[in-house]
Structure 1
Amino acid sequence: MTSVNLSIPFEALVKAIKSLDLEQKQQVLEILEEQIFESEEKWENSPEIIAEVEEAKKAYQSGDYLTLEEFIAGQS
């Protein structure tokens, strides 16, 4: 399988998408939703995010946190 990597200005891409019919736009939307879901899943499962969540859990369990009300009061 041969692949081609193109660089298309964003404005040209938007114009091209606007010219598609409804069925083609729905196909593009499905592709984008799938790509976004995969990206979010990779981000959520990244070592950095997992470590941050664990750190936050430990802080919460030890009582080292502010409630939203406390935070807002401290900003005044």
Structure 2
Amino acid sequence: QLLMSKSKFCQQSLNPAPVDPMQKKIMSALQVISAELFSLFPAGMVLCWLTNNVVSIGQQYLITRHIMAAKE
């Protein structure tokens, strides 16, 4: 559950920050709510979501690195 919460936070930090301050607060609150919800789901499901998040984070990193290299 803790790893899933950390991966969701990392994944959200890769996205651009919302301009609206209220939206930023809501997105932060959703992180806490989702962390609490993950404790209710079976461990296998959370592990599947964690794996998906880690793969998505790696994919986003590679895409961003490729775009930055193309700009140079």
TM-score computed with the length of structure 2 as normaliser: 0.51
Structure 1 residue ranges (4+ consecutive) displaced by more than 3 angstroms after TM superposition: none
Higher relative contact order (CA 8 A, sep 6+): 2
Residue 54 of structure 2 is matched in structure 1 by 33
CA distance in 2 between partners of 1:31 and 1:20 (Å): 16
Unpaired runs of 5+ residues, structure 1, are 1-6, 52-76
1:29, distance to aligned residue in structure 2 (A): 0.7
CA distance in 2 between partners of 1:32 and 1:45 (Å): 20
TM-score computed with the length of structure 1 as normaliser: 0.48
Residue 23 of structure 1 is matched in structure 2 by 44
What percent of counterpart residues are identical?
5
Question: Counterparts in 2 of 1:1-76, with a 5 A limit?
Answer: 9-46=30-67, 49-50=68-69, 51=72
CA distance in 2 between partners of 1:19 and 1:43 (Å): 34
- The number of aligned residues is 43
Higher helix proportion, which one? 2
Q: Secondary structure at the match of 1:45?
A: helix
Instruction: Decide which structure has the larger Cα Rg and report it.
Output: 1
